[in-house]
């Protein structure tokens, strides 16, 4: 009786690296960018991957357009268009005669990107830097609401911070914020208290976490007894409530913040385009 020959093992197909030589709008291997997206959008996605992976840190000079064009095998114009979009998104900064750098919250023009409160008289620079006072700092298990905002599981470790920001000696903002424990491992009250600049600059430098965008919700509220005492206003004084979720690359939530703002001498200023 004839024997059936053993089945041959399936051959693993060879995987070739993506090629952009034809400048066709093909999908990038490993990228979430749709196959029908323009090529410059695919290059933008690859640059974002490099930023997220930490290939270029905040403040670093990235390779030139010509070098990136060679790396991705596309035209310099395609790379330029991708960089233009990343610059418009405040992720990269062009400096005339020097090149293109990864944006950082340490730069003066970026420090107030997420703080939209401005004085009614004069400009923000004229009121001087905010005076920061940490009222409370602790590590805890995330309540359900906080876990949901940060994309965590209930009970995951988080840091909770309460602080007051004052301008020219007047308490103006009372904030509570929550940070996921793992990315901010080692954060301490001493670290926060000794840092004098923007908090997001500290996150960048010490923990490698760069906040790139935020979603905010605003509404008018009346001051309760505790917030009124902290901000030096009467009970039921009108305050602006600002809730924010800040994200790093790849839309990963990294901070949930609730702020109460005095607006008797300030206003919330946002530019839409």
Q: How far apart are CA 92 and CA 103, in angstroms?
A: 5
Do 166 and 190 lie in a common domain?
yes
pLDDT tens, position by position, 168-203: 899 999 999 999 999 999 999 999 998 877 888 899
Q: How far apart are CA 151 and CA 153, in angstroms?
A: 7
| Average confidence score pLDDT of the chain | 83
Do 46 and 97 lie in a common domain?
yes
pLDDT tens, position by position, 24-38: 444 344 444 445 679
Do 259 and 125 lie in a common domain?
yes
Range of the structural domain that residue 60 is part of: 39-102
Do 216 and 152 lie in a common domain?
yes
Q: How far apart are CA 229 and CA 50, in angstroms?
A: 47
- Number of domains the chain is built from: 2
At 161, which CATH number?
3.40.1410.10
Long-range (24+ apart) CB contacts under 8 A made by 106-112 are 106/58, 106/59, 106/197, 106/198, 106/201, 106/204, 106/205, 111/197, 111/198, 111/201
Do 199 and 171 meet the contact criterion of CB atoms below 8 Å apart? no
Query: Could you give the 3-state DSSP secondary structure of residue 216?
Result: strand
The answer to whether residue 88 sits within a structural domain is yes
Q: How far apart are CA 102 and CA 93, in angstroms?
A: 6
pTM beyond 0.75, yes or no: no
Beta-strand runs (E) in 14-57? none
149 or 106, greater pLDDT: 149
The answer to whether residue 144 sits within a structural domain is yes
């Amino acid at each position: 009786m004839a024997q059936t020959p053993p089945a041959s093992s399936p051959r693993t197909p060879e995987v070739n690296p993506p090629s952009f030589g034809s400048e066709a709008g093909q999908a990038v291997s490993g990228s979430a960018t749709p196959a029908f997206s323009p090529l410059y959008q695919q290059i933008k996605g690859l640059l974002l991957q490099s930023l997220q992976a930490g290939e270029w840190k905040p403040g670093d000079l990235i390779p030139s357009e010509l070098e990136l064009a060679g790396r991705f095998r596309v035209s310099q114009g395609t790379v330029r268009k991708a960089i233009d979009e990343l610059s418009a998104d405040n992720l990269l900064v062009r400096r005339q005669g020097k090149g293109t750098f990864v944006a950082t919250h340490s730069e003066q023009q970026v420090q107030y990107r997420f703080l939209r409160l401005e004085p009614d008289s004069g400009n923000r620079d004229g009121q001087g830097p905010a005076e920061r006072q940490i009222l409370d700092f602790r590590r805890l298990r995330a309540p359900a609401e906080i876990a949901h905002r940060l994309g965590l599981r209930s009970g995951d470790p988080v840091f909770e911070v309460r602080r007051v920001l004052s301008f020219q000696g007047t308490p103006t903002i009372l904030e509570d914020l929550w940070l996921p424990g793992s990315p901010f491992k080692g954060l301490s009250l001493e670290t926060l208290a000794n840092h004098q600049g923007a908090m997001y600059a500290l996150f960048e430098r010490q923990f490698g976490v760069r906040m790139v965008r935020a979603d905010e919700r605003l509404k008018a509220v009346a001051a309760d007894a505790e917030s009124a005492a902290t901000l030096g206003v009467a009970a039921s004084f009108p305050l602006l409530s600002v809730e924010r979720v800040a994200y790093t690359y790849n839309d990963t939530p990294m901070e949930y913040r609730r702020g109460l703002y005095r607006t008797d001498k300030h206003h919330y200023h946002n530019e839409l385009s």
